[in-house]
Amino acid sequence: MAMECLVENLNEPPSKDEFDKLLEELSNNPEVLCKSQQRDEMDSSPEEKLKFLTEIFTKSKANFLSRFGRFLNSDEINLFQQFEEDTKDGYEVKYHLKNLKESSFKTSKRLRNKRFAALKRLVSTGAYFSETEMMKRNPLLYDQLVGRYLSTREKRLRDRSGCSDVNSFVSILMGGIEKEQMEAKRRVQEMEERDEEEDSSDSEEDTGTEKPVHTLWGEFREENNQPTKPRRTTKDIDLFITSEERELLKEEFVSTMYEHFLEGKDDDFDYNAVDNSEEYDNLEIITNDEEEKYFDSEEPEDVSMNVENTANVKEESSEDELDIYMSALNQHPSVCQLSEDIKKL
Summarize pLDDT for 211-237 with one digit per residue, the tens: 554 444 444 444 455 544 444 444 444
* pTM flag (> 0.85): no
Cα distance between residue 169 and residue 12, in whole Å? 58
Identify the weakest region by mean pLDDT among 22-26, 198-202, 301-305, 309-313: 301-305
Cβ atoms of 134 and 253 closer than 8 Å:
yes
The pLDDT of residue 156: 84
Q: Quote the crossing angle between the two packed helices 16-27 and 46-59, to the nearest 10°.
A: 130
Name the residue with higher pLDDT: 303 or 5: 5
Identify the weakest region by mean pLDDT among 35-44, 53-62, 238-247: 35-44
SS3 of residue 264 by DSSP? coil
Name the residue with higher pLDDT: 304 or 336: 336
* Pairing outcome for strands 227-228 and 220-221: antiparallel
Residue 130 has pLDDT above 50, yes or no: yes
- Picking from 95, 76, 94, the residue whose alpha carbon sits closest to that of residue 85 is 94
Q: Torsion angle, CA of 299/304/307/310, rounded to 10 degrees?
A: -90
Phi and psi at 192, nearest 5°, equal: -65, -40
The pLDDT of residue 250: 93
The pLDDT of residue 27: 92
Phi and psi at 221, nearest 5°, equal: -100, 140
The pLDDT of residue 185: 74
Cβ atoms of 275 and 111 closer than 8 Å:
yes
Share of the chain above pLDDT 70, in %: 57
Residue pLDDT, tens place only, 241-277: 888 999 999 999 999 999 999 999 999 999 999 998 8
Residue pLDDT, tens place only, 79-113: 999 999 988 899 999 999 999 999 989 888 888 99
Helix, strand, coil distribution of the chain in percent, nearest 5: 70, 0, 30
Average pLDDT, the chain: 73
- Picking from 74, 66, 68, 72, the residue whose alpha carbon sits closest to that of residue 53 is 68
The pLDDT of residue 329: 53
Name the residue with higher pLDDT: 324 or 203: 203
The listed range with the strongest mean pLDDT (148-162, 311-325, 329-343) is 148-162
Residue pLDDT, tens place only, 266-307: 999 999 999 988 888 764 454 345 445 545 554 444 434 343
Other beta carbons less than 10 A from residue 137's beta carbon: 20
Residue 1 has pLDDT above 60, yes or no: no
Cα distance between residue 115 and residue 262, in whole Å? 6
pLDDT grade for 186, boundaries at 50, 70 and 90: confident
pLDDT grade for 41, boundaries at 50, 70 and 90: low
pLDDT grade for 17, boundaries at 50, 70 and 90: confident
The C-alpha angle with vertex 86 and arms to 80 and 87, in degrees rounded to 5, equals: 160
The pLDDT of residue 120: 92
Cα distance between residue 315 and residue 311, in whole Å? 6
